[in-house]
Amino acid sequence: MTTDQAPALESLLSVRGISKAFGHIQALTDVSLDIAPGEVLALLGDNGAGKSTLIKILSGLYATDSGEIRMRGVPQRFQSPADAKAAGIATVYQDLALVDTRDVAANLFLGREYTRGPFIDVKRNVAESRRVLEQLKLGHLPASGVPVGVMSGGQRQAVAVARTVVSGAELIIMDEPTAALGVSESAKVMALAHELRDSGCAVIIISHNLQQVWDFADRFAVLHLGRLAGVRRRSESTVEEIVQLIVYGAAGA
Ligand SMILES: Nc1ncnc2c1ncn2[C@@H]1O[C@H](COP(=O)(O)OP(=O)(O)OP(=O)(O)O)[C@@H](O)[C@H]1O
Query: What is the residue-level pLDDT of the chain in tens, covering all 253 positions?
Result: 344 454 445 899 999 999 999 999 999 999 999 999 999 999 999 999 999 999 999 999 999 999 999 999 999 999 999 999 999 999 998 888 899 999 999 999 988 888 888 888 889 899 999 999 998 898 899 989 999 999 988 899 999 999 999 989 999 999 998 887 888 888 888 889 999 999 899 999 998 888 888 989 999 999 999 999 999 999 999 999 999 999 999 987 6
**CA–CA separation, 76 and 62 (whole Å):** 13
Q: Report which of 147, 157, 155, 163 is spatially closest to residue 110, judged by C-alpha positions.
A: 163
**Which residues, in sequence order, are CB contacts of 11 under 8 Å at separation 6+?**
34, 35, 36, 70, 72, 73
251, 241 in Cβ contact below 8 A? yes
Residue 62 CA to ligand 1 centre (angstroms): 12
Q: Which of 19, 52, 247 to mutate to test the pocket of ligand 1 (most atoms within 8 A of CB)?
A: 52
Asked if residue 27 has its Cβ within 6 Å of ligand 1, the reply is yes
Is 160 in a helix, a strand, or coil?
helix
- Check residue 253 and give its pLDDT: 62
**In one letter, which amino acid is 247?**
V
42, 219 in Cβ contact below 8 A? yes
Q: Report which of 107, 171, 110, 169 is spatially closest to residue 138, judged by C-alpha positions.
A: 107
Phi, psi of 208 (to 5 degrees): -95, -20
Asked if residue 53 has its Cβ within 6 Å of ligand 1, the reply is yes
Asked if residue 207 has its Cβ within 6 Å of ligand 1, the reply is no
Look at phi and psi of residue 163 and say left if phi exceeds 0, alpha if psi is from -120 to 50, else beta.
alpha
**Which residues share a beta bridge with 35?**
13
Q: Where are the domains of the chain?
A: 7-88+169-253, 98-166
Q: What is the CATH number of domain 7-88+169-253?
A: 3.40.50.300
**In one letter, which amino acid is 113?**
E
Phi, psi of 145 (to 5 degrees): 90, -15
**In one letter, which amino acid is 209?**
N
Asked if residue 49 has its Cβ within 6 Å of ligand 1, the reply is yes
Phi, psi of 80 (to 5 degrees): -160, 165
User: Cα dist. 190→29, 122, 153, 161, 245 in Å?
Assistant: 29, 30, 13, 11, 22
- Check residue 1 and give its pLDDT: 39
For residue 137, count CB atoms less than 10 angstroms from its CB and return exposed for 0-12, middle for 13-18, buried for 19 or more.
Answer: middle
Residue 155 CA to ligand 1 centre (angstroms): 29
Q: Report which of 72, 44, 78 is spatially closest to residue 60, judged by C-alpha positions.
A: 78
Angle (deg, nearest 10), helices 153-166 and 122-135: 110
The conformation of residue 111, written as its DSSP 8-state character, comes to: T
**Which residues, in sequence order, are CB contacts of 238 under 8 Å at separation 6+?**
none
Return the residue whose CA atom lies nearest to atom 4 of ligand 1.
Answer: 22
- Check residue 112 and give its pLDDT: 84
Q: Report which of 161, 121, 123, 122 is spatially closest to residue 141, judged by C-alpha positions.
A: 161
pTM for this structure? 0.91
Residue 174 CA to ligand 1 centre (angstroms): 17
